[in-house]
Amino acid sequence: MSGRQCPACNITYAYELETCTFCSARLEDLPPNDSCILAVTEISAPSIGHEDVPYWCALTQTSDGRHEIVKLSRSASVGDVLPSGIGVAVETVHTVGVLGSGVMARGLAELMLSQGHHVIWTGRSLERLNSSRDKVADRLARSMDEDQTREALGRLTLSDSFSALEDCDIVIEAIVEELKPKQDVIHAVEAVVSEDCIIATNTSSLPLDKISIGMQHPERFGGLHFFNPPTRMRLVEIVRGPDTDAEVALFMTRFAQSLGKVPVPVAAGPGFVVNRVLMPLLNEAVRTLEDGIAPAEAIDEAVRLGLNHPMGPLALADLIGLDVVVSIMDDLYERLGDEAYAPRPMLRRLVSEGKLGRKTGEGFFVHTPPPVSG
């Protein structure tokens, strides 16, 4: 770390100040010095009209023996080395392409902007993209001041043409969870981006070898499976397809870490890890509701408390989107042949009625939007 020191008091400061808080002498810059984290704690700071925003305070020790307390914007672990510079060293700024205008695409755009990246956001409809942009702006304003929000949105470009992606370092596909549309957009993106650009899919369960059929360079394609909402969920499943280059997998891992996420490498098997384990649980929760064992609220409360989960399975299904849940289950059932993955009749009925969960306002529960702050 580097910091500033008072020439009169010899007090060092690990944060940006111009004058000493004790004697008002002008501070002098100290030479750069890497430091090691000795202890770290996560803090969530509430503020009126804004969401709780987590940050991390780390006790560090520099190579010359100085101890400092540093505020971090990303999670860190004991033993991590913080490169020279006040606070966390700025990660490489990338130009990130985001494909789609739905819930996950919005979350990914928000995440990338909040972490300082440039975002090229493409979709079929500029009208829908502009509507999604407004929602992202509202989300950013819950954790940023006006100037920060304006600066973040200044790094965002909307386009209904894939040609806008030509200068991207990485493109993340987050469109509908169907094989043919994903294949089509992957091929269209590959035709316009540079050969150095990494193309990633955010698929929840579809086979990467099928998505990448027909690609000219399948070695630069892999899976970055973020979870909803990607701004808060720390896990990212790093999925290597049959042709994914080791350097591409390493880039995806480091990229996920730079976003404050925990990357976990998984094989490209049906459902990867989380959805393969989760879907039977959601299905059994629906079966329990169908059988009249307990109402939805009671089922969720019992599972939440009994298994120490942050939310119940039916509320989680509503958050994921019941159409997405059914799509994942259908794919897993087809590929595994296990009845545990066959979507329950109530699930299919709710989807057929357009009751998809939070995004439509009703699923297993009725979801009212939060009041607009004024």
Let me know if residue 87 belongs to a domain. no
- Pick the closest to residue 311 from 349, 266, 261, 367 (CA basis): 367
> Are both 62 and 133 inside the same structural domain?
no
Host H or E run for residue 370: none
Let me know if residue 282 belongs to a domain. yes
- Distance between CA 212 and CA 248 in Å, rounded? 15
> Are both 159 and 253 inside the same structural domain?
yes
pLDDT of residue 374: 42
Count Cα neighbours of 49 within 13 Å in the Cβ-side half-sphere.
7
> Are both 231 and 319 inside the same structural domain?
no
Query: Is 47 in contact with 23 (CB distance < 8 Å)?
Result: no
- Distance between CA 65 and CA 222 in Å, rounded? 43
Residue for token pair 């810059």: 29
Let me know if residue 124 belongs to a domain. yes
> Are both 175 and 201 inside the same structural domain?
yes
Query: Is 279 in contact with 271 (CB distance < 8 Å)?
Result: yes
> Are both 148 and 243 inside the same structural domain?
yes
Find all residues with CB under 8 Å of 237, minimum gap 6, and list them: 223, 224, 225, 263, 264, 265, 266, 272, 273, 274
Let me know if residue 344 belongs to a domain. yes
- Cα(first)–Cα(last) distance of the chain, in Å? 41
Written as tens digits, the pLDDT of the chain (374 aa) is 456 788 888 887 766 678 888 888 898 887 666 778 888 887 765 544 444 556 677 888 877 777 777 766 666 778 877 655 434 444 588 999 999 999 999 999 999 999 999 999 999 999 999 999 999 999 998 878 888 899 999 999 999 999 999 999 999 999 999 999 999 999 999 999 999 999 999 999 899 999 999 999 999 999 999 998 898 888 999 999 999 999 999 999 999 988 888 899 999 999 999 999 999 999 999 999 999 999 999 999 999 999 999 899 999 999 999 999 999 999 999 999 999 999 999 999 999 999 999 999 999 999 986 544 44
> Are both 228 and 314 inside the same structural domain?
no
Let me know if residue 247 belongs to a domain. yes
> Are both 129 and 257 inside the same structural domain?
yes
Number of structural domains found in the chain:
3
Q: Which of 266, 301, 322 is the last residue of a domain?
A: 266
> Are both 115 and 72 inside the same structural domain?
no
The full length of the chain comes to 374
pLDDT of residue 279: 97
pLDDT of residue 373: 44
pLDDT of residue 91: 58
> Are both 258 and 295 inside the same structural domain?
no
- Pick the closest to residue 321 from 103, 100, 101, 135 (CA basis): 103
Find all residues with CB under 8 Å of 283, minimum gap 6, and list them: 329, 340, 341, 342, 343, 344, 347
User: Which positions are catalytic?
Assistant: 204, 225, 237, 275
- Distance between CA 261 and CA 231 in Å, rounded? 9
The tokens of 91 are what?
A: 């990660």
pLDDT of residue 37: 84
Host H or E run for residue 357: none
Q: Which of 20, 47, 82 is the last residue of a domain?
A: 82
Q: How far is CA 291 from CA 52, 103, 287, 332, 344, in A?
A: 39, 31, 6, 24, 11
Domain that holds residue 195: 95-266
The tokens of 153 are what?
A: 């949105």
Let me know if residue 55 belongs to a domain. yes
> Are both 73 and 207 inside the same structural domain?
no
> Are both 258 and 297 inside the same structural domain?
no
Q: Within 10 A of 159 (CB to CB), how many other CB atoms are there?
A: 15
Q: Within 10 A of 302 (CB to CB), how many other CB atoms are there?
A: 15
Strand partners, 69: 59
Let me know if residue 358 belongs to a domain. no
> Are both 209 and 118 inside the same structural domain?
yes
- Pick the closest to residue 243 from 214, 275, 278 (CA basis): 214
Let me know if residue 233 belongs to a domain. yes
* DSSP one-letter string for 104-146: HHHHHHHHHHHTT-EEEEE-S-HHHHHHHHHHHHHHHHTTS-H
CATH code (residue 342):
1.10.1040.50
Count Cα neighbours of 338 within 13 Å in the Cβ-side half-sphere.
12
